[in-house]
């Protein structure tokens, strides 16, 4: 499994392309590519490595994580998938885009399919298990690959921090409970790829995260 990280849009959001080295199938997680330069960089990477985009999945549906969905959907013929409890955020996309000065973007790309809270997402020989950890947003999902010990945490957990809970339908207690009960039970060596900032591990956060 290969993980390629892109840092996109004014929010410095991490977009991941996760590919299966055997089949060359890949999943794009949280397509945040906003301008032409960002869009060409992800397209170039996918073409140069002869990858086939099999899934376009979202940890959650905040603006900075979905603003590249239209491009990836159109370019590679896939539809975004996410938890249904975050779908209301797509209706807020246009107003938020204007508020954050990225007006001119088209309406949010509609979802093609819902991911259930303990659902599985497969591409090539890789299977992610979805873990529902609400609180940053009501439909926040983490994607866990047990065989490689990898977790894509979206904005649930960061190195030394947690997601903010002051956005629509955020809930601090729910977020803390979810991280403690659903993420801190994973093996300590699990590598955590966050929605912003550097990677971390479950073991590191158990010791050093001041919120937990």
Q: Are 194 and 14 in contact (CB under 8 A)?
A: yes
Contacts of 64 (CB under 8 A, 6+ apart): 9, 11, 13, 32
In whole angstroms, the minimum distance from the beta carbon of 59 to Zn ion comes to: 8
Candidates 21-29, 42-50, 152-160, 185-193 — which segment interacts with Zn ion by CB under 5 A?
152-160
Residue 119, classed as helix, strand or coil, is coil
In whole angstroms, the minimum distance from the beta carbon of 29 to Zn ion comes to: 12
Contacts of 102 (CB under 8 A, 6+ apart): 9, 10, 34, 63, 67
Candidates 61-69, 98-106, 107-115, 119-127 — which segment interacts with Zn ion by CB under 5 A?
61-69
Please choose, from the candidates 3, 6, 5, the residue with its C-alpha nearest in 3D space to the C-alpha of residue 34.
Answer: 6
Residue 155 sits in the site that holds Zn ion (CB under 5 A): yes
Candidates 2-10, 20-28, 117-125, 153-161 — which segment interacts with Zn ion by CB under 5 A?
153-161
Question: Which residues in the 182-201 window bind Zn ion by CB under 5 A?
Answer: 195
Question: Which residues in the 3-42 window bind Zn ion by CB under 5 A?
Answer: none
d(C-alpha 19, C-alpha 22), whole Å: 9
Residue 62 sits in the site that holds Zn ion (CB under 5 A): yes
Considering beta carbons, is residue 24 or 182 the nearer one to Zn ion? 182
Residue 64 sits in the site that holds Zn ion (CB under 5 A): yes
d(C-alpha 68, C-alpha 15), whole Å: 9
Residues interacting with Zn ion, by CB under 5 A?
Answer: 62, 64, 155, 195
């Amino acid at each position: 499994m290969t993980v390629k990280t892109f840092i996109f849009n004014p929010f410095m959001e991490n977009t991941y392309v996760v590919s299966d080295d055997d089949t060359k199938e890949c999943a794009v997680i949280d397509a945040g590519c906003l301008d032409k330069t960002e869009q060409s960089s992800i397209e170039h990477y996918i073409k140069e490595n002869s990858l086939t985009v099999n899934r376009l999945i979202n940890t959650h549906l905040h603006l900075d994580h979905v603003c590249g969905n239209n491009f990836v959907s159109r370019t590679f013929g896939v539809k975004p998938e996410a938890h249904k409890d975050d779908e209301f955020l797509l209706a807020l996309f246009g107003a938020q885009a204007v508020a954050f000065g990225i007006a001119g973007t088209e309406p949010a790309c509609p979802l093609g399919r819902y991911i259930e809270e303990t659902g599985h997402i497969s591409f090539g020989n890789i299977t992610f298990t979805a873990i529902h950890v609400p609180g940053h947003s009501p439909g926040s999902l983490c994607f866990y690959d047990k065989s490689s010990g990898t977790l894509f945490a979206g904005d649930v957990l960061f190195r030394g921090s947690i997601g903010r809970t002051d956005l629509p339908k955020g809930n601090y207690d729910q977020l803390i409970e979810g991280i403690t009960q659903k993420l801190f039970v994973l093996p300590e060596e699990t590598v955590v790829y966050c929605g912003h900032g550097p990677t971390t591990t479950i073991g590191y956060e158990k010791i050093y995260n001041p919120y937990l």
